[in-house]
Amino acid sequence: MSYKSGRHFLQIPGPTNVPGRILRAMDRPTMDHRGPAFAEMTKEVLSGLKGIFRTEQPVVIYPASGTGAWEAALVNALSPGDRVLMFETGQFATLWQRVAERLGFDAELVPGDWRSGVKPEEVEARLADDGGHAIKAVCAVHNETSTGVTSNIKAIRKAMDRAGGKTGHPALLMVDTISSLASIDYRHDDWGVDVTVAGSQKGLMLPPGLSFNAISEKALKAAETSGFRQSYWRWDDMLEANENGFFPYTPATNLLYGLKESLGMLNEEGLDNVFARHDRLAEATRLAVSAWGLEVLCRNPAEYSSSLTAVLMPDGLDADEFRKLVLERFDMSLGNGLGKIAGKVFRMRHRAASNELLMAGTLFCVEKVLSPFRANSAQVPGAGPFVSA
């Protein structure tokens, strides 16, 4: 590949473009991870993370991708053979279910249409039918990155509480926030989530390589009687070492430098301002999609994601061919369709290190590459149906 002038536009949902401030923060010698300066940094980072998860309860950091943190949540708090209820909101929910199945869970994936979020009434009905409390956990993906649909976690919690009579159904609530943490409003404590799973390479603007579990009191209690044989993912070892600012094994030191910087940036802007920025850019994107005569994959406006938008390609146009043209012409990467919507959608990111001009550039580029496919390409953008390539 020949040299391309200027910056590559990384507009895939994640990993996101890493800001210069974070790159510079990581570009430092690796320090002694058993020394006092490291312990101080760990404590600062762990306390900062609690603010992002909006929790007073423990958060642990793994040197792993988000998939590792999925596994950690399941094997710490549950036992082999436990029934878990999952919801097919898209590719990531499907993959989480596969992890659970491989680990020996009785993991039911409630079918979905890949255009909607988890339905709280469905959660309530399933749990109300489970008088014997066989279901040990409800697992939901907060922001389904494959579809651009955000589920209402607060309503799911309420549905679980209603389903079990006076004391609520005792199942744990586990939520994947890998593409929503620090992107969309999320409240681990207020919403009564037991284990929140997150990762570094999306809203936190870091490279891939770190993932997180935020853990409720109830989940910690459940972990005491877990029947799983486990080692690397153990919460108890991690929490004991974290107490003094250390890890049970070598942590990803330089990524932690980056995390410290990221937390500083999010706090300087203010989380609520970050969310408002993403809401604004997402709204602008949907207006553009509608002006192009295209359809957003998410069906229900209340579930529109402010993290990313998935756009349905018109009949006869292949999304991957389109993305290839975008990359060749403008050096911009768009997200592809995953799983059963491969080739049918492309995805644009709004979150993380984004602003008006970045979004405007993204939308300009999509519009420009789409325009020759119009029946009447003289009219750009707008009237006239799309014609196949």
Q: Does 176 bind ligand PLP (CB under 6 A)?
A: yes
Query: Using the rule CB under 6 A, is 22 a contact of ligand PLP?
Result: no
C-alpha 205/C-alpha 22 separation (Å) is 8
Residue among 139 and 369 whose Cβ is closer to ligand PLP = 139
Q: Which stretch binds ligand PLP (CB under 6 A): 37-45, 176-184, 232-240, 276-284?
A: 176-184
Give CA 256 to chain center in angstroms.
19
Are 10 and 361 in contact by the 8 Å Cβ rule? The answer is no
Residue closest to 238 by CA, chosen among 248, 252, 230: 248
> Residue 55 forms beta bridges with which residues?
none
Question: Binding marks (x or -) toward ligand PLP, 343..382, rule CB under 6 A?
Answer: ----------------------------------------
14 or 112, CB closer to ligand PLP?
14
Q: How far apart are CA 168 and CA 186, in angstroms?
A: 22
Among 12, 14, 100, 172, binds ligand PLP (CB under 6 A): 14
Q: Is 336 in the site for ligand PLP (CB under 6 A)?
A: no
Is residue 333 within the footprint of ligand PLP (CB under 6 A)? no
Q: What is the number of other CB atoms lying within 10 angstroms of the CB of residue 123?
A: 26
208 or 293: CB nearest ligand PLP:
208
* Residue number, nearest CB to ligand PLP: 66
Residue nearer to ligand PLP on the CB measure, 84 or 370: 84
Peptide bond just before 381 cis, omega within 30 deg = yes
**In the complex, minimum distance from the CB of residue 292 to ligand PLP, in angstroms, rounded to a whole number:** 25
CA separation for the pair 386, 389 (Å, rounded): 9
* Closer CB to ligand PLP, 91 or 246, in the complex: 91
If binding means CB under 6 A, how many residues of this protein chain bind ligand PLP? 12
112 binds ligand PLP (CB under 6 A): no
Which candidate, 141, 150, 152, places its Cα nearest to that of 196?
Answer: 141
Q: Is 270 exposed, middle or buried (0-12, 13-18, 19+ CB in 10 A)?
A: exposed
User: Which positions from 291 to 330 touch ligand PLP by CB under 6 A, shown as an x/- string?
Assistant: ----------------------------------------
Which region, judged by CB under 6 A, interacts with ligand PLP, from 121-129, 132-140, 171-179, 256-264? Answer: 171-179
**342 within 8 A of 310, measured Cβ to Cβ:** no
With 0-12 / 13-18 / 19 or more C-beta atoms within 10 angstroms meaning exposed / middle / buried, residue 35 is exposed
State which of residues 62, 92, 304, 373 lies at the interface with ligand PLP (CB under 6 A): 92
CA–CA separation, 273 and 279 (whole Å)? 10
The helix-helix angle for 36-53 and 253-269 (nearest 10°) equals 40
Judged by beta carbon, residue 89 or residue 362, the one nearer ligand PLP is 89
Which residue number, 245 or 251, has a Cβ lying nearer to ligand PLP?
Answer: 251
Q: Please pick, from the candidates 199, 203, 251, 335, the single residue that binds ligand PLP as defined by CB under 6 A.
A: 199
The separation between CA 153 and the C-alpha centre of its own chain, rounded to angstroms, equals 13
Contact pick of 12, 18, 141, 296 for ligand PLP (by CB under 6 A): 141
Asked if 65 interacts with ligand PLP (CB under 6 A), we say yes
CB 227 to ligand PLP: min, Å:
25
Nearer to ligand PLP, 92 or 346 (CB): 92
Residues 6+ apart with CB under 8 A from 269: 277
Choices 4-12, 172-180, 218-226, 317-325; region in contact with ligand PLP by CB under 6 A: 172-180
Q: Which of 63, 66, 148, 258 binds ligand PLP (CB under 6 A)?
A: 66
Alpha helices in the chain (DSSP H): 20-26, 36-53, 66-77, 91-102, 120-128, 153-163, 217-223, 235-242, 253-269, 271-291, 319-330, 356-370
Q: Is 145 in the site for ligand PLP (CB under 6 A)?
A: yes
Chain residues that interact with ligand PLP, rule: CB under 6 A = 14, 65-67, 92, 141, 145, 176, 178-179, 199, 208
